[in-house]
Structure 1
Amino acid sequence: MFKFRKKKNKNKDSQALGGLDFLSIFMRTLKLLSDFIYVVIILVMMLGAGLGLGYLASQIDSVKVPSKETLVKQVSSVTLVSQMTYADGSLISDVDTDLLRTPVESSAISQNIKNAIISTEDENFESHDGVVPKAVFRALLTSVGGVGETSGGSTLTQQLLKQQILGDDPTFKRKAKEIIYALALERYMSKDEILTAYLNVSPFGRNNKGQNIAGVEEAAQGIFGVSAKDLTIPQAAFIAGLPQSPIVYSPYNSDGSLKDADDLSYGVSRQKDVLYNMYRSGYISKEEYENYKAYDITQDFLSSGVAETTSHDYLYYSVFDEAKDLMYDYLIKRDGVSDQDLKNDETKQAYQDLAEEALKTGGYTVKTTINSTVYNAMQTAAATYGSLLDDSTGEVQMGNVLMDNSTGAILGFVGGRDYNENQNNHAFNSYRSPGSSIKPILAYSVAIDQGLMGSASILSNYPTTFSSGEKIMHDTSEGTAMITLQEALNSSWNIPAYWTYQKLLSEGVDVESYMSKMGYLIDNYNIESLPLGGGIDVSVFQQTNAYQTLANGGVYNEGYMVDSIVDSDGTVIYQHEANPVRVYSAATASIMEELLRGVIKSGTTTSFKSVLTGLNSTLGNADWVGKTGTSNNYVDSWLVVSTPNVTLGSWAGHDDSSAMSTSSGTNNNKYIANLVNMIYQAAPEVIGTSDKFTLDSSVIKSDVLVSTGLKPATVSINGSNVSVSGTTTTSYWAKNGAGNTVYKFAIGGSDSDYQDAWQKILSGK
C-alpha cells in the first residue's frame, strides 16, 4: 500500500504495508491520522458511520499501486486505433473513435493554456502532492450533506487518473484508488509531465466539423485554426474553460454549425471566468484582464466545415456490440467491482461508458470467428437472390446465421437486404415467433430425452381444441387420425405437438431447465400454444444455436463471434473459452437428427433439398437435416438446416409483422438453397458434404408395431382381450425402450379417438 506522507523525494517509490497483523495495521492507521488527517477522515466518511478503523486499514491495504512504468504508461497513453479482424486476421474495419486527439510535447503547448488550466482547474497544482485534503473534504461534505458548491475536490492529477485509468463511478474502492494513485503519480512524474499529459488527453468538446475532440492541439486547431503553442491568452482562456462541460461550452453543434448567440454565451461567459481566475492567480495583470475580457472571442472561431464519414454494415456493429460487452466484463473483473457495487446504476453506467471508450480508443485488436470468404459469399447471395423472397406483399427481409456445430463459432451471417436501407439486424436483434421450428426443440426432443416416446411412436392428430374451446388448426385442416412421430414432423402437424407438450406438463417434466440451458427466456411455460410457437419470440441466432445443440450430440455451445481481444502490447485480455452444456442426451440428439433427416428428405413442407440438388448435386447428396416453421397468417417463415459440420438458421418476413403470401415458405426454400450453394462455391470445406449423422451407441432399439409404436401384446378392447400383432418396425429410444402395447398407446387423444383408432387397427385399415 502507498503510505500517506509528505513528499520528500520525487523519485522514491511507495512502500507497501505488507503482511502486517491487525495491531500493526491499526498503529499504522494512527500514523496516517497524524500525517494525513483529512484524507483519513474522507475515507472514514466514505466507508460510512459505524465502520471501524481496522476495516478502513484493510481497505487501504487492499489498494495495490501499479509500478512506476505501468502507471506512467497508463496515464500518458493517448488514443490508439482499435481494429476488428476476420478469423484469418485480415481487416474488417478500424473501430470508429468519433474522437480526434493529437498528442504534442510540452514545448509545443503555449504557457498561456497551462496557466489558464492551472488557475481554473487546480490553483494549488504546483504545491500539492496530488491531493488537496481540504478541497476533497469540502467536496465530500457536499455529496453527503448536499450543501455548498458542487465543484472542487479533484486535482489535475486526480482528474488525469479518472480519465485514463479509473473512470468516474462512485464506489469507495475507486475513490480510494484515486487518492492513493494520485500520491504515487506525483512521485513518478514531474508537475510539467502531469500537466502535459492532462492537456493531451482531456476532452474539449467539438471542432468546427462537429467531431469530438480531446487534447489541447486538436482544440486549438479545431476551434481557432492555430497550433497549441500559438494560442493567445483569450483563446487559451476559452479552451481552458471547456473541460468542465465540453459540449455545453463548445461553440459548435454536432453537425459542425456554429451555435446561436444564446448558446454561445455559455462558453463565452465561462471564458471570462477563466480570465478572472488567471488575474486572481497572478498570471495576468488587472489591466490585461480588463482588455482580454472586452475582446470578442467569437471572431476567432473557425467557420463550419464538413467531416468525412465512414460507412459500416451489420458485421461492424454486431462485432462492436459483442466486444463492448466483453470489455465491460473485463473491466469489472479487473477493478474487482462487486455485484453489490453494480446495483448502483451510476456505477454500472460508468463502466459501460468506460468499456465503450476503451474499445474505441484503446488500440485493441478484436479477432472474430467470421470466415471472410463465407461472409462475403453470404452477402453476395443476399444481394443476388434476396429478390426470390419477394411476393405480392412487397420486399421481404431475411436473417441468416451460419454456425459451426462443434464450437458455436459464427462463421457468417446475413443481417438483411441492405444495411443502408434498413439497419435492423434480422440475424441477431429481431425477435419473432418461431412457428413450428420450435417443435423439435421444446416438445419432441424433450419427450424423447425423458423416455416418453421413441422414433416410431404414435401421436394423436384427431381434431381437438385448446382449453378455451378454440380449435387447434393446421392451416385449414382440423386434424386427421393417429399418425407416427415422423409424419407429425414431416407435415409439421400442430395437434401432435400440442399433445406431446401436454404430456410433458402432466408428467411434471421441467421443460424450462432444457430451454434455459440454451438461453431461451420464456415467461410462461403453461401456454398451451407454446410448442406451436405461441408466447415465445426468438432471434435467428438463438434458433440456430438450438439446432446446433442437436447437431452436436445434444451439447450446447453458446454461439459467439468474438474469439479474442488483444491490447496494443499484445496482451490477451479476452480469449473465448468453450463452456459446453449438455441439454439432451447423445441418444436423443441422434434420434432427432434421424427424424429431421426425414423432414428434409420427404419434401412435404420444404422443397429445399430438391432445389439444392438441382443447383448442385454434390450439395444435394449431403446429409441434410432440418425443420421448417411458419407463424400464423404467414407472418414468419423459418428454415433451419444442418449438416454434421454446420447449422444454418434462416428467417424471412416483414418488419411490421404483416403477412406474406402463401408462397413464402417456397420462396424461402429457394433463397436458402441458393445461399447454401454460394457458400459452398466460396468455401466447399465448410459445409462438410461427405460427413454423415449416425445413431449414438447408447440408442435403445425396440421392435414395435407400426400401428401402435409399442411392442405386440394382449390388450383389453371393449371388454375383450385381443392379441395385437402386425407389421413391425424398429423404434429408437433414448431411455427405457418401448413398452408393451396398451389401450391408450398414443400420445394424446380422447376416448372416442381411441375407439376409432382401434376399429381401424383391428379392421386392418
Structure 2
Amino acid sequence: MFNGKKTKQKKKKLDYSITDIGSIFLRTIKLLVDFGYVIVLLFVMLGAGMAFGYLASQVDSVKVPDKESLVSQVSSLTRISELTYADGSTIASIDSDLLRTPVGYDAISDNVKHAIIATEDENFEAHNGVVPKAVFRATLASVLGFGESSGGSTLTQQLLKQQVLGDDPTFKRKSKEIIYALALERYMGKEEILTDYLNVSPFGRNNKGQNIAGIEEAARGIFGVSAKDLTVPQAAFLAGLPQSPIVYSPYMSDGQLKSEEDMSYGLARQQDVLYNMHRSGYLTADEYQEYKSYNIAADFIPTQSASTVNHDFLYYTVLSAAQEVMFDYLVELDQVSAQDLKNDATKEAYEARALQELQQGGYKIKSTINKTIYDAMQMAAAQYGGLLDDGTGTVQMGNVLTDNATGAVIGFIGGRDYSINQNNHAFDTKRSPGSSIKPILPYGIAIDQGLMGSASVLSNYPTTFSSGEKIMHASDVGTTMIDLKEALNVSWNIPAFWTYQMLLNQGVDVKDYMTKMNYDIDSYHIESLPLGGGIDVSVATQTNAYQMLANNGEFEEQYMIETITASDGTVIYQHESNPVRIFSKATATIMQDLLRGPISSGKTTTFKSRLVALNPTLANADWIGKTGTTNSTSDVWLMVATPKVTLGAWAGHDDNRSMQALTGYNNNANYVAHLVNAINQADGNLFGVGERFSLDSSVIQSTVLKSTGLRAGVVTVNGRSITVGGATTTSNWALNGPGTMTYRFAIGGTDSDYVKAWAALTKK
C-alpha cells in the first residue's frame, strides 16, 4: 500500500513537472516575442527620433527668405523661354505644353475654394502655414519607408513645392518647405495664397489634349465655363484633379474622352471631394445627396483639335543641352549632395524641375550654334546626302563641327530628314568607331607613354586573336614588318592589335585616358578594342577626341550652351573653360604630323582628291584625319580637322545592315568634301586655310633606320653578330627616344615572324 501510494505520488509530481515546464516554456516564448516587439518599436522610435533630430538640424540651418524674393517667386507665372543661336537670333521659343490664364480671387467661384480647402487643407483658415501633427505623420511615414504622405502638406506648402522648391524627397528640401511656409503666411494673406495656388496648380488635360494649369483654364477646357461660374459638382471634380492630374483628367493626350474604366478614377475622386465638403460643413446633408447623384460626365465638353508646332534636330538638341545645364544649376543652388542624387526619385524630380523651369521660367538660352554655318550644313545634307546612297537603301549621316580651342559645337547634322527619321545620329546614335579609334587607342597612348615613335616598326605578319580567329584587314591576312606611318595610312589592323597588347603588358592605365574623354567602355580586355570592338561612341564624343588631338593634347569638353539668362537679366549660367590635358603637346603634335598621311595618301579615302576638284584653295588647308570602317561595312567614319576646327562624320543604317564595301572610301568621302565646301562658302575663315600644324619644341627627334625604327647598331642573328645599317629617317618621340638595336626590334610579332624579318633584312 505504502509503495503504491508513493509511486502514484511520484507520478503526479512528474505530471505536474511536465505541465509546469510546458507552461513556463510558452510564457518564455511569449515574453521573448513581446520583448522582440519592444526592441523593434525602440529601433523604430530611435530611427524616428534620429530622423526628427536630423530634420530639426536642417530646419535650424535654413535661412528665412526675404519677403520680396519669396512673394515674387510664389506669384510668378509662366513666361516664355527662348533658344537662340550664337549671334542672339532666335532658334525657337520653348514649348511649355501648358496653358494657364491667371484670374483674381473674385473671379473664382466660392464652390472651388470650398472644395479645395475641404479636400487639400481643412485647417487652411486656422494654421500658420504648417500643421505640426501632419509634419510628424509625414516624417514618420518617410522614416518607416512609406514615402511622404500628401496629408503632410498644407496648401501653403504645396504652393511652395510647385513654385519654388520642387518635390524631391530629401529632408533638406522638407526643412526649407517648413520655414518658407511659415514665412509666406506672414508675408501674404490667406486669400492671396489660395488664389496663387488655384492659378498655378496642374489640372491635367483639356478637350484638346493640352496640359492645363490654373483653375480658369481647367474650367474652360473641361466644362467650357469661367472659373467664377463653376457649379458645386463641377468644382468638386476640378478640386480632385491636382492630386493626380493625368490620372483623374477625363481627356487623353489626343483630347478624346477616356474609356469608362479610365474615367471612373476621376469620377470616384469627385465623390470623395463632395464627401469632404459635406464633412467640413460646406454642404448640407440634402445638398450632398443631391450633388453626389449628379452625372458630372454630361458636363464634359466635346473633343477639339489643337494646333501643333513642328520642331527639328536643332530645337530638341539645344533644349536637351540646356536641361542638363539647368539640372546642374538647380542641384548646386539647393546644395543637393551626391548621396542625395543616388536616390532615383530625387534625381528624377530635379530633371523634371529643370525642364519645367526652362519651359515656364522666361529664360534666354544662348547656344554656340553659328546660324549661317548651321543653315549651310542643313542645305548640304539635303543637297548632297544622296551621294551616300549605295544601293542598300537610304544611308543616314551624323556630323558634328567643333571649335578646337573651346570645344564649342558650331554646327551639326542629325540626319537626312527629321520629318522622316527623328534619330539624332550626331549625338544620340552610338556605333563602333572602327579604325577611327586607332590614333587615340592604341597609337596615341603608346606615343604618350614613350613606347613608340613616329618611325617605329610594327609587325604586320599574319596572326590571330587568342580564340584562333584570324585578324583580317578586309580580305588581307597581313604582310610583313611595316612602320607606323604605313600602319595609319593603310589602317592595318594587326599592328594596332600588337600595340594594344604592349600597352596591356606594360600596365598602362588605358581606362584613365579614355574616361577623361567620356568614352564608356565596359571592358578593356577585349582584344579587338584598338580596332573599335567593344566600343560604342557617338559622333559628338568621337569628334571631341579629335578636337583634343587638334588642340595639342588639351581636351575641351564639348558644349552647346554659352549662357542662360533669367527674365530679370541675371546671367545664371556662363560656360567656363576647363581644359584637361590628355596627351602631352609632343604626343599630340606627333600624331597631327602622322595624320596628314591618311588624308593626303588617298589609301583609305578619296576626300582630298574630291575636295581638290571642288575647291583647290580649301583643299590646301592643313587637313589631318582618319577613316574607320566596321565589319561588313555597317559603319563608315571620316574624322577630319584643321588647326581651327574638327568635323566628325559617320554614315550607316539604323538597323546596322551592311553597305557596299567602298561606301566609306568613295561615297562618304564625296559627301564630306561637298559638306566642308558648303561650310567654307558660308564662312571662308572657319577652316583657317593658311594655318598649319607644327611639332612642339618638346618633341625628341632622332635619326633611326627605316628598317627597324631603332638606331644603327650590332645585333646577334642566328649566332653571329651583324652590324645593321641602311637608309635612315627621323623618328619623333614624346618621351625616351628610340632604343638601341635589338633582335626583337618591332612592336609585336612572334618568334617565327622575327626569323622571317631577319631573313629579309640580311638579304639586303
Scaled by the length of structure 1, the TM-score of the pair is: 0.91
Aligned-partner Cα distance in 2 for 1:148–1:568: 36
Task: Please state if 1:509 is matched with 2:508.
Answer: yes
Answer yes or no: is the 8 Å Cα contact 2:202–2:213 preserved in 1: yes
After the TM superposition, which of the residue ranges 697-706 and 225-234 deviates more from structure 2?
A: 225-234
In the TM superposition, 1:610-629 aligns within 5 A as 610-629=609-628
Counterparts of 1:22-421 in structure 2, within 5 Å, are 48-49=47-48, 51=50, 58-144=57-143, 152-421=151-420
Paired residue secondary structure (2:62): coil
What is the alpha-carbon distance in structure 1 between the residues aligned to residue 586 and residue 671 of structure 2? 33
1:438 aligns with 2:451: no
Q: SS of 2:398's equivalent?
A: strand
Name stretches of at least 5 consecutive residues in structure 2 with no aligned partner.
1-42
Give CA-to-partner distance per residue, 1:631-664, whole Å, 9 cap, x none: 1111110100000001111111111111111121
481-490 vs 346-355, which deviates more? 346-355
Q: Distance in 2 between matches of 1:606 and 1:357?
A: 47
Q: Is the 8 A contact 1:479 1:495 kept in 2?
A: yes
Query: After superposition, what is the alpha-carbon deviation per residue over 1:256-299, rounded to whole angstroms, capped at 9, x for unaligned?
Result: 01223343333333333333333443434444444433433223
Query: Could you tell me how far apart the structure 2 residues matched to 1:437 and 1:46 are?
Result: 61
Residue 664 (structure 1) aligned with residue 672 (structure 2): no
Match of 1:704 in 2: 704
The one-letter amino acid of 1:418's match is D
The superposition leaves residues 158-201 of structure 1 with CA deviations (integer Å, 9 ceiling, x where unpaired) of 11111111222221111121111111100000111101100000
1:582 maps onto 2:581 in alignment:
yes
Tell me how far apart the structure 2 counterparts of residues 319 and 212 of structure 1 sit (CA, whole Å): 23
CA distance in 1, matches of 2:244, 2:333: 29
Cα 1:220–1:45 shift into 2, 3 Å: farther
Offset, 1:228:
1.6
Looking at structure 2, the residues matched to 149 and 489 of structure 1 have their Cα atoms a distance apart, in angstroms, of: 60
Show the 5 A alignment for 1:690-701: 690-701=690-701
Shift of 1:45: 9.4
| Alpha-carbon shift at residue 100 of structure 1 (Å) | 0.9
- Farther off after superposition, 499-508 or 199-208: 499-508
Partner residue of 2:564? 565
Letter of the 2:466 partner, please give it.
S
Q: Deviations over 1:105-138 (max 9, x none)?
A: 2232222222222222222211211112233334
1:554 equivalent in structure 2: 553
Separation in 2, partners of 1:449, 1:724: 28
Q: CA deviation at 1:47?
A: 9.3
Tell me the distance in 2 between the aligned counterparts of 1:733 and 1:262. Answer: 74
In the alignment, the residues of structure 2 paired with residue 115 and residue 122 of structure 1 have an alpha-carbon distance, to the nearest angstrom, of 10
User: In structure 2, do the counterparts of structure 1 residues 147 and 710 end up closer, same or farther at CA, with 3 Å as the change threshold?
Assistant: closer
Provide the aligned C-alpha RMSD in A: 2.1
Residue 748 of structure 2 corresponds to 748
Alignment partner, residue 477 of structure 1: 476
Distance 1:419 1:540 in 2: 17
TM-score by length of 2: 0.91
8 A Cα contact 2:55 2:172, kept in partner = no
> Secondary structure of 1:627's match?
strand
The C-alpha deviation readout for 1:472-503, integer Å capped at 9, x for no partner, is: 11111111111111111110011111111112
Q: Secondary structure at the match of 1:273?
A: helix
2:59–2:178 Cα contact (<8 Å) kept: no
**Larger displacement relative to structure 2 (688-697 or 317-326):** 317-326
After alignment, is 59-68 or 180-189 more displaced?
59-68
Partner amino acid for 1:674?
H
Distance 1:434 1:141, change over 3 A: closer
Q: State the one-letter code of the partner of 2:589.
A: S
Report the AA paired with residue 229 of structure 1.
K
Could you say what secondary structure the match of 2:559 adopts? coil
Residues 166/739 of structure 1: CA separation in 2 closer, same or farther (3 Å cut)? same
Q: Secondary structure at the match of 1:199?
A: helix
Once the 2 structures are TM-superposed, how far is the Cα of residue 46 of structure 1 from its aligned partner?
11
Provide the rounded CA distance (Å) in 2 between the counterparts of 1:726 and 1:465: 32
For the structure 1 residues 283 and 553, does the alpha-carbon distance in structure 2 shift closer, same or farther, using more than 3 Å as the test? same
144 and 485 in structure 1: CA distance in 2 versus 1, 3 angstrom threshold: closer
**Alpha-carbon distance change, 46 to 324 in structure 1, aligned in 2, over 3 angstroms:** farther
Contact 1:557 1:579 (8 Å CA) reproduced: yes
3-state SS of paired residue (2:399): strand
Q: Deviations over 1:527-546 (max 9, x none)?
A: 11111111111111111111
Identity %: 68
Q: How far apart are 1:759 and its partner, in Å?
A: 2.9
Q: CA deviation at 1:141?
A: 4.6
The aligned amino acid for 2:719 is: G
TM-superposed CA distance for 1:140, in Å, is 4.1
CA gap of 1:52–1:561, structure 2 versus 1, over 3 A, is closer
Q: CA distance change for structure 1 residues 308 and 353 in 2, over 3 Å: closer, same or farther?
A: same
Amino acid at match of 1:760: A
Matched AA of 1:227: S
Q: Give the whole-Å Cα distance in 2 for the aligned partners of 1:660 and 1:319.
A: 31
Structure 2 Cα separation of the partners of residues 478 and 281 of structure 1? 86
Rounded to whole Å, the distance in 2 between the matches of 1:138 and 1:735 is 66
The answer as to whether partners of 1:47 and 1:172 remain within 8 angstroms in 2 is no
- Could you say which residue in structure 2 is the equivalent of 1:30? none
- What are the within-5 Å matches in structure 2 for residues 499-538 of structure 1? 499-538=498-537
Given that residues 170 and 346 in structure 2 are in contact (C-alpha distance below 8 angstroms), is that contact kept between their aligned partners in structure 1?
Answer: yes
Alignment of 1:684 with 2:664, yes or no, is no
Aligned-partner residue type, residue 531 of structure 1: P
* Structure of higher CA gyration radius: 2
Tell me the distance in 1 between the aligned counterparts of 2:386 and 2:541.
25
2: distance between equivalents of 1:513 and 1:197? 52
CA contact (8 A) 2:101 2:216 kept: yes
Structure 1 pair 146–352 and aligned structure 2 pair: CA distance change class (3 A): closer
Amino acid of the structure 1 residue aligned with 2:642:
T
SS in 2 for 1:152: helix
Deviates more, 1:394-403 or 1:309-318: 309-318
Q: Tell me the alpha carbon deviations over residues 359-384 of structure 1, each in whole angstroms, 9 at most, x when there is no partner.
A: 22122222111111111111111111
Partner of 1:12: none
Q: Which residue of 1 aligns with 2:30?
A: none
Task: Judge conservation of contact 1:81–1:94 (CA < 8 Å) in 2.
Answer: yes
Separation in structure 1 between the aligned mates of residue 52 and residue 160 of structure 2, nearest angstrom? 26
Name the residue aligned to 1:4. Answer: none
Q: State the Cα deviation string for residues 710-730 of structure 1 (Å, max 9, x = none).
A: 211122222222222222121
Contact 1:622 1:688 in 2 (8 A): yes
Residue 250 (structure 1) shift: 1.4
Amino acid at match of 1:571: T
In 2, Cα distance between equivalents of 1:273 and 1:524:
56
Q: Which moved more, 1:570-579 or 1:398-407?
A: 570-579
CA distance in 1, matches of 2:144, 2:702: 77
